[in-house]
Structure 1
Amino acid sequence: MPEKFDVIVVGAGPAGASCAYTCAKNGLNVLLIERGEFPGAKNVMGGILYRKQMEEIIPDFWKEAPLERPVVEQRFWFLDKESMVTTSYKGLEWGKEPFNNFTVLRAKFDKWFAQKAVEQGATLINETVVTECLVDEDGKVIGVRTDRPDGDVYADVVVLCDGVNSLLAKKLGFHKEWKPDEVALTVMEVMKLPKKTINERFNVNDDQGVSVEIFGDATQGALGTAFLYTNKDSINIGVGTTLSSMIKKKMKPYKLLEYVKEHPMIQPYIEGAESLEYLAHLIPEGGYKAIPKLVGDGVIVAGDAAQLVNAIHREGSNMAMSSGRMAAETIMKAKELGDFSERVLDSYRTDLYDSFIGKDLKKYKDAAHTFEAYPQYFEQYVPLMNKAMNTMFTVDGTPKWDKQKKIMQSFTAGRGKLGVAKDLYRAWRVVK
């Protein structure tokens, strides 16, 4: 293995693999370092992969990638203790090329994606921890130090894709210690269930999938969501809340997941399922305002390490892949110039902010903080929504006008009409 590379990429998740693949495909000498036994061994996400951003890296990838099901229906459940209000969109066009998104198992997909980078010429090293970036006397990053004997490796540029709690970026002074409201902890299980059972319970065919986003009682009123995704012969079920919510409500992650699995609205969908794998993962929750310093002399930060997650639309993998690709494109320009200074690499930051990533994160920059600062949205309004539906649809001889009046009184009790109006306006402002 040569001591000097054009590019060292730390982390073989979606951001790292996309960067390594794009760089290697364009003739750069790339080292991709992964701390797990193999790419995907330690990587976790709910399980949704978006077609558009992946296709920009590998056209027609779905013809060979280890995907589970193309998602044809997105459901949203608003839970109370023994009821739920639901809405959904089902589009059969999503089940045909070019598709919209897919459910995936990271252990399979990440391994395949990293191998595609290897096929383009990248060198993949597994079971290796990068302990720090090597910095010269002028402050330029010139390589990395690993936990292997004689483990110093050098490169023109280092790309940090080492996850939300990027210790490497922190050591460089790119970000502070994340606050509890800037990260969420998600726990999930992969549970085996026969394909026929999945199809019957979710009303789909073999080549159709469903994603379910769950709000309200699933997180016991805390800011966060639970989810239920269909794979070929298994399901992903999980729940996540901000660390600040867990601390405030004294919740234990594994107990919260058990609460979700035992909820009467959810349990029938997983009845008889066998647990295959239990996973936990920190997810960036700070959004636009928490994006750290993205570039320096000889270094770029991408993916979760750059806080690139849109929690409102549960988008993260697509932002990771696009940021990795943009980092690679910036590096190729820098290679042509023979200049890997922060001034040249800063075009990555500009491109990222000008893309859908920067624009979407800016759009929702105040959403997470607002919904956590005003807990009534999850603690009060979701249960009230359920009670309103119960009141309106229970046929008991009460005139509908009287029912509407009762519903309005329940929503304004304690907060008044003005308080409710302010809550609605506040919510509209942060998602408009």
Structure 2
Amino acid sequence: MSEKFDVIVVGAGPAGTACAYICAKNGLKVLQIERGEYPGSKNVMGGVLYRKQMEEIIPDFWKEAPIERPIIEQRMMMLEKESAVTLGYKGLEWGQEPYNNFTILRAKFDQWFADKGVEEGVLLINETVVTECLVEDGKVVGVRTDRPDGDVYADVVVLADGVNSLLAKQLGFHRELRPEEVALTVMEVINLPKDTINARFNIHDNQGCTIEFFGEATKGNIGTAFLYTNKDSVNIGVGTTLSSMIQAKLKPYELLDQLKNHPIVQPYLEGGESQEYLAHLIPEGGYHAIPKVVGNGVLVVGDAAQFVNSIHREGSNMAMASGKLAAETIIDAKAKGDFSESSLNQYQMSLNNSFIMKDLEKYKDATHTFEHYPEYFKDYLPFMNKAVGQFLTVDGTPKKDKQKEIVRELKAKKGTIRVLKDVYRVWKAVR
């Protein structure tokens, strides 16, 4: 493995493979190193892939990729113990090409995506751990692996090694992540017949539905839960920040079991057969947690760069977009023969002009706000459920009186000034 490459990509998730694929397609000599048995064997996400960013890499990819279902409906449920307030959008146009997003199973999709890179010339090495970056005169010149004589050299190294990137940490690019900056998500894949899924979610073949849960799903702690439809299975999962889990003494698998047995959720799963359990750390720190992403001979992409929009639950699209921008920067650097930090800083400028940084900056204070003011999850969501239930209950009480009573209860619980401050605070965080 002493051969030199143009590019070494560490990791075979969406970010790393997007970068490797584009670099190889443009004639660069690429080595991609994956610690798992195969790409996708250790990769986990809820299971939604957005079309736009992937299509920019492989046009019409859905015609051959292992897609589960195009999503035509997205719902949000604010759960209480025995109730739910539901919002959603169902668009039949999403069920037609070019689609909006899809559910996928990472073990299948990541392997297919990496194989497309191999077809373009990527040398993919699995079951290999990169233990450190090789640095000479302040420049990253390669990586050291756990294989015998495992030092490999390249003009540029791309770190796509996940949320807690040990390699970026070794380079001093980021500090130790704080518990409030990382969420632990646990997920279960449950097998269900296709016809059962169609009936329960009011969809047809080649149509999918996603449901995001808030409130009781996380026991009032900051975080979300989800239920996504595949062809003949569903993904159900729940995640909260590590700080919430520690403070509330929550056990992630207990949260998942409680969600599965919630009276609103359980009917979706009835009769299903568990296929597998998965767990994954997700970056939640957002804009303020982004580390240094450019150095001499090195770039950082995807989760390793903290590119996740926790408000909209977007991560795979940001991963692929960052991998694409990194590849374009590397191709230009190769043409110039300059892999210095100043040359590779084109990547940072491209990020700043992209939706990635603009969206993360827009919501830069959101996670911090919800973390430090837990009443939004613990108080306001339950109150909203109760208020909607009261208003829609027909018991002979005039609606005007019901409205006054709801307002009176809120004022008694919080006070007018406090409510106005809370509304302004959350508006400011997501405006």
> How much has 1:78 moved relative to structure 2?
0.2
Confirm or deny: 8 A CA contact 2:2 2:151 kept in the other structure: no
Confirm or deny: 8 A CA contact 1:384 1:410 kept in the other structure: no
Answer with 396-405 or 188-197: which moved more.
Answer: 396-405
The residue identity in structure 1 corresponding to 2:66 is P
Q: Over residues 176-234 of structure 1, what are the superposed CA-to-partner deviations in whole Å (9 max), with x where a residue is unaligned? A: 00000011000000110000000000000011000111000000000000000000000
Q: Over residues 367-410 of structure 1, what are the superposed CA-to-partner deviations in whole Å (9 max), with x where a residue is unaligned? A: 01101111111111111111111111111111111111111122
Q: Over residues 41-87 of structure 1, what are the superposed CA-to-partner deviations in whole Å (9 max), with x where a residue is unaligned? A: 00000000000000000000000000000000000000000000001
User: Could you say which residue in structure 2 is the equivalent of 1:37?
Assistant: 37
Q: Over residues 281-337 of structure 1, what are the superposed CA-to-partner deviations in whole Å (9 max), with x where a residue is unaligned? A: 000000001100001000000000000000000000000000001000000010011
- Cα distance in 2 for partners of 1:198, 1:22 equals 37
Answer with 388-397 or 77-86: which moved more.
Answer: 388-397
- Cα distance in 2 for partners of 1:395, 1:295 equals 61
User: Could you say which residue in structure 1 is the equivalent of 2:360?
Assistant: 361
Change beyond 3 A, Cα 1:316–1:349? same
User: Could you say which residue in structure 1 is the equivalent of 2:190?
Assistant: 191
What are the ranges of 5 or more consecutive residues in structure 2 without an aligned counterpart?
none
Check if 1:130 corresponds to 2:120. Answer: no
SS of the aligned residue for 1:70 comes to strand
Check if 1:15 corresponds to 2:11. Answer: no
User: Could you say which residue in structure 1 is the equivalent of 2:293?
Assistant: 294
- Cα distance in 2 for partners of 1:187, 1:413 equals 38
- Cα distance in 2 for partners of 1:413, 1:344 equals 60
The residue identity in structure 2 corresponding to 1:323 is S
Q: Over residues 95-154 of structure 1, what are the superposed CA-to-partner deviations in whole Å (9 max), with x where a residue is unaligned? A: 000000000000000000000000000000000000000001x11000000000110000
- Cα distance in 2 for partners of 1:412, 1:115 equals 59
User: Could you say which residue in structure 1 is the equivalent of 2:330?
Assistant: 331
What are the ranges of 5 or more consecutive residues in structure 1 without an aligned counterpart?
none
User: Could you say which residue in structure 2 is the equivalent of 1:77?
Assistant: 77
User: Could you say which residue in structure 2 is the equivalent of 1:52?
Assistant: 52
The CA RMSD over aligned residues, in Å, is: 0.7
**Where do 1:364-375 residues align within 5 Å?**
364-375=363-374
Confirm or deny: 8 A CA contact 1:77 1:212 kept in the other structure: yes
**Where do 1:13-412 residues align within 5 Å?**
13-136=13-136, 138-412=137-411
Confirm or deny: 8 A CA contact 2:2 2:149 kept in the other structure: no
- Cα distance in 1 for partners of 2:329, 2:343 equals 8
Confirm or deny: 8 A CA contact 2:2 2:153 kept in the other structure: no
Confirm or deny: 8 A CA contact 1:143 1:154 kept in the other structure: yes
Per the normalisation by structure 2, the TM-score is 0.99
Confirm or deny: 8 A CA contact 1:14 1:110 kept in the other structure: yes
- Cα distance in 1 for partners of 2:258, 2:312 equals 24
- Identity over aligned pairs, percent: 72
- Cα distance in 2 for partners of 1:115, 1:234 equals 25
The residue identity in structure 2 corresponding to 1:72 is I
SS of the aligned residue for 2:371 comes to helix
- Cα distance in 2 for partners of 1:361, 1:130 equals 29
User: Could you say which residue in structure 2 is the equivalent of 1:416?
Assistant: 415
Answer with 385-394 or 20-29: which moved more.
Answer: 385-394
> How much has 1:413 moved relative to structure 2?
2.2
Confirm or deny: 8 A CA contact 1:78 1:86 kept in the other structure: yes
- Cα distance in 2 for partners of 1:413, 1:275 equals 46
How many residue pairs were aligned? 431
SS of the aligned residue for 1:279 comes to strand
The residue identity in structure 2 corresponding to 1:24 is A
- Cα distance in 2 for partners of 1:14, 1:411 equals 45
The residue identity in structure 1 corresponding to 2:108 is K
Per the normalisation by structure 1, the TM-score is 0.99
The residue identity in structure 1 corresponding to 2:74 is Q
